[in-house]
Amino acid sequence: DSGVTQTPKHLITATGQRVTLRCSPRSGDLSVYWYQQSLDQGLQFLIQYYNGEERAKGNILERFSAQQFPDLHSELNLSSLELGDSALYFCASTPGENYGYTFGSGTRLTVV
Amino acid sequence: AQSVTQPDIHITVSEGASLELRCNYSYGATPYLFWYVQSPGQGLQLLLKYFSGDTLVQGIKGFEAEFKRSQSSFNLRKPSVHWSDAAEYFCAVGESHGGATNKLIFGTGTLLAVQP
């Protein structure tokens, strides 16, 4: 157990639907990163939050959004889902603005 | 922009043999470099990292990596591979923007198979 908890572990949904992925960072970690892992794109950085504020955006689609709550957990919202959104979505946390990433075990999203 | 290249998509070694996984990076300044391992159905686990100083870095599970600035490389090595080392290995470089962001740029990964 890495200390970073992601739920759900698996999610199957239909095209056009909306889902929410949840990440609870390791205790004390202020920064949360979201990554998408797919066969064709590999591991892609989506977005980072630090202590509730958005800090950086990567290759995140406009249909996707995220937030970090006062208790530091984060949610990634994916809407108008397409088949190509099927992927593993990881979150990682760090204590601050450093590189000590701890990854969760991921949410596998399948869009049918 | 920073980038990471892992030229070997798939490698097979025999148990007990030595291992070297290649990683080349593109970055203007001194890079922050990492190796992660991903077992099937699992998240990514940090094996080792290089920030500065000694160019030979020791990690967990008996792995080490050597930073070679002249070759823009950060190859991962292990003297004797165990069957449990079969997994996918990712090299990554840290991208910072004035210290405000520390996102990682990952290579495409190398899938390691271990033969008995």
Question: Which chain A positions have a beta carbon within 8 Å of B100's beta carbon?
Answer: 55-56, 97
At residue B90, φ and ψ (nearest 5 deg) are -120, 130
Distance from CA of A54 to the nearest CA of B (A): 10
Classify A39 in phi/psi space as left (phi over 0), alpha (psi -120 to 50) or beta: alpha
The neighbouring-strand residues paired with A8 are none
- Helical H runs in B1-116? none
Kindly report the number of other CB atoms within 10 A of residue B87's CB atom.
19
Question: Which chain A positions have a beta carbon within 8 Å of B103's beta carbon?
Answer: 33, 45, 48, 56, 58
Q: How far apart are CA A73 and CA A45, in angstroms?
A: 18
What is the percent of chain A where pLDDT is above 90? Answer: 79
SS3 A23: strand
B6 neighbors B112 (Cβ within 8 angstroms)? no
Average pLDDT over residues A70-78: 97
Look-up of token digits 């593109």: B26
SS3 B85: helix
Which of A2, A9, A33, A43 should we substitute to test contact with B (largest number of B Cβ atoms within 10 Å)? A43
User: Mind listing the pLDDT tens digit of every residue in chain B (116 residues)?
Assistant: 789 999 999 999 999 999 999 999 998 777 889 999 999 878 899 999 998 888 999 999 999 999 999 999 999 999 999 999 999 999 999 877 655 567 889 999 999 999 99
Q: How far apart are CA B21 and CA B52, in angstroms?
A: 21
Q: How far apart are CA A31 and CA A22, in angstroms?
A: 14
pLDDT of res. B75: 98
The reply to whether omega before A8 is within 30° of 0 (cis) is yes
Question: Which chain B positions have a beta carbon within 8 Å of A48's beta carbon?
Answer: 101, 103
pLDDT of res. B101: 61
Number of A–B residue contacts, CB under 8 Å? 56
- pLDDT band of residue A91 (cuts 50, 70, 90) is very high
Q: How far apart are CA A73 and CA A70, in angstroms?
A: 8
